Amino acid sequence: MTEKLKGTTTVGIVCKDGVVLAADRRASLGNMVLSENVTKVFWIDDHLVLAGAGSVGDILSLVRLLRAEAKLYRAKVGKEMSVKALATLTSNILHGSRFMPYFGWFLIAGHTGKPGLYSVDMAGGVTEDRFTAAGSGMEFAFSILEAEFKEEMTLEEGVKLALKAIKAATRRDVFTGGGVTLVTVTDEGYKEWSEEEIKGLLE
């Protein structure tokens, strides 16, 4: 089997009091929906998170590596890695693997002193963003983000905007669907929102 599990839409938004990452839960194999319950947003450390769009196996492999590196950094330095440092590390790993690449596009986010969000492509190119999207439905998500993002949004406003962007992609992109994973990171740490909390915001 040469095709890989893929397809998704991921969204990241920086707010004045934290950062939001959201993603759909569908995984496709060619034109077939293989799963509607795939996690694409991952805890890396207490205030660090990654979202991936692309090959599920490659995303999971990178997540395992970054978690190990974050743990080693804590042991050596005595504190948590910064968001920028995690983005740089991810960039270095991807650039070093560019001839046998990780097939994915990654959003690195967190709150280490202040909220931060970085987009990293599979060749290691890094862009710092206030909001961004990646994956097969990114055009539809960007149409919402471009129109409605505001500087100094509250976390609640950012959460609602992220869900709206994912919902727009779900309506128009056949590779996006299956519900939403929603994660916020503030100075207090990582939180994954429950299905009940998400449903309440969508209604």
pLDDT digits (tens, 9 = 90+) for 61-87: 999 999 999 999 999 999 999 999 999
Beta strands at 126-128 and 18-24: parallel, antiparallel or unpaired: unpaired
pLDDT digits (tens, 9 = 90+) for 124-179: 999 999 999 999 999 999 999 999 999 999 999 999 999 999 999 999 888 888 88
For residue 3, being part of any structural domain is answered with no
Element (H, E) at 155: helix 155-172
Residue 63: φ, ψ to 5°? -60, -45
For residue 121, being part of any structural domain is answered with yes
Please report, for the domain that includes residue 182, its CATH number: 3.60.20.10
Q: What percent of the chain has pLDDT over 70?
A: 96
Task: Identify how many contiguous H helices and E strands the chain contains and give both numbers.
Answer: 5, 12
Quote the number of domains for the chain.
1
Residues of the domain holding 169: 10-197
For residue 202, being part of any structural domain is answered with no
pTM for the whole thing? Answer: 0.92
From the candidates 2, 8, 154, 181, which is the catalytic residue? 8
The CA distance from 11 to 75, in Å, is: 31
3-state SS, residue 7: coil
For residue 4, being part of any structural domain is answered with no
CA dist 202 → 11, 12, 163, 180 (Å): 16, 18, 7, 11
| Residue 8 falls in the annotated catalytic set | yes
